[in-house]
């Protein structure tokens, strides 16, 4: 479904990604784990076309997308939940969701998807009229995920959804990611929280200083002594 082939990405003269190749297949949860500054967010930005790959290729359903502008890539069905949640603080929960659907005009479908979002996170239904900025961190993350789902993407890109959240909220969010995937959504999950991410993923990639250093089934990575020592606290 998504394929990166030998991708290099730069910020000016600084190379942030080196020869990154990875795939995400239809129906999977694939996670990209790695330390702070490894290049995980840059990988997502490159897929979305915000930072262009200087070398290499990115294919979506067999079509090259690395030369396309970000808005075209969104229209092809790739939706990102950026790090730091970035909801609209002065708009209500409902208005944030409506904005997620701005490319659509199928009112019945939109209504159905709002209901689906509220079924995933009932607390958002209760807070439907509340301003986004007054929600807790966990609720804002829930809203950011739901807003991305409102575009009805084929692939959901998540950048560190667990960042700064309490363990109980993280568990709730990861349970929902698994549910959304079970309902048919393909997910590419970038996380520093390797333990939780590998527990819900089918496959995982490990990134170190801009390169992929390991790739395997998530269960294999979770059991690997090397991964346990480096990312899972032994």
User: Which lies closer to ligand ATP via its Cβ, residue 41 or residue 140?
Assistant: 41
Contacting ligand ATP (CB under 6 A), which of 29, 30, 41, 218?
41
* Pair of tokens at residue 115: 């209901």
Counting Cβ atoms within 10 Å, is residue 102 exposed (0-12), middle (13-18) or buried (19+)? Answer: exposed
- Give the per-residue contact string, 47-86, with ligand ATP (x = CB under 6 A; - = no): ------------------------------------x---
CA dist 190 → 36, 38, 130, 165, 170 (Å): 11, 11, 29, 15, 14
Contacting ligand ATP (CB under 6 A), which of 1, 4, 7, 16?
16
Taking Cα atoms as reference points, which of 73, 34, 30, 33 lies closest to residue 50?
A: 73
Contacting ligand ATP (CB under 6 A), which of 11, 63, 105, 184?
11
CA distance 96 to 42: 25
Per DSSP, what are the bridge partners of residue 32?
A: 190, 205
Find the part of the chain contacting ligand ATP (CB under 6 A) among 35-43, 95-103, 105-113, 219-227. 35-43
- Give the per-residue contact string, 103-142, with ligand ATP (x = CB under 6 A; - = no): ----------------------------------------
Find the part of the chain contacting ligand ATP (CB under 6 A) among 11-19, 108-116, 118-126, 136-144. 11-19
With binding defined as CB under 6 A, does residue 37 bind ligand ATP? yes
User: Which lies closer to ligand ATP via its Cβ, residue 40 or residue 66?
Assistant: 40
With contact defined as beta carbons under 8 Å apart, do 214 and 227 qualify? yes
Residue 105 CA, distance from chain mean position: 25
* Pair of tokens at residue 12: 């000016």
Note the residues at the interface with ligand ATP (CB under 6 A).
Answer: 11, 14, 16, 34, 36-42, 83, 192
């Amino acid at each position: 479904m998504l394929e990166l082939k030998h991708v290099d990405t730069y910020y000016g003269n600084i190379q942030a990604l080196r020869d990154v190749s990875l795939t995400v297949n239809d129906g999977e949860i694939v996670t990209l784990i790695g330390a702070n500054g490894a290049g995980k967010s840059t990988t997502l930005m490159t897929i979305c076309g915000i930072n262009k790959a200087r070398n290499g290729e990115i294919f979506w359903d067999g079509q090259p997308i690395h030369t396309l502008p970000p808005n075209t890539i969104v229209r092809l069905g790739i939706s990102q939940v950026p790090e730091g949640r970035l909801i609209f603080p002065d708009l209500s929960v409902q208005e944030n969701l409506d904005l997620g659907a701005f490319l659509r005009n199928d009112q019945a479908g939109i209504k159905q998807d709002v209901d689906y979002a509220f079924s995933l996170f009932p607390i958002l239904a209760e807070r439907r009229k509340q301003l986004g900025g007054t929600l807790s961190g966990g609720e804002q993350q829930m809203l950011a995920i739901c807003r991305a789902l409102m575009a009805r993407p084929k692939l959901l890109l998540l950048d560190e959804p667990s960042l700064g959240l309490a363990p109980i909220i993280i568990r709730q969010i990861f349970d929902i990611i698994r549910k959304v995937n079970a309902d048919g959504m393909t997910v590419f999950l970038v996380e520093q929280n390797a333990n939780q991410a590998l527990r819900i993923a089918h496959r995982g990639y490990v990134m170190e200083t801009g390169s992929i250093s390991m790739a395997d089934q998530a269960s294999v990575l979770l059991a690997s002594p090397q991964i346990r020592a480096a990312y899972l606290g032994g």
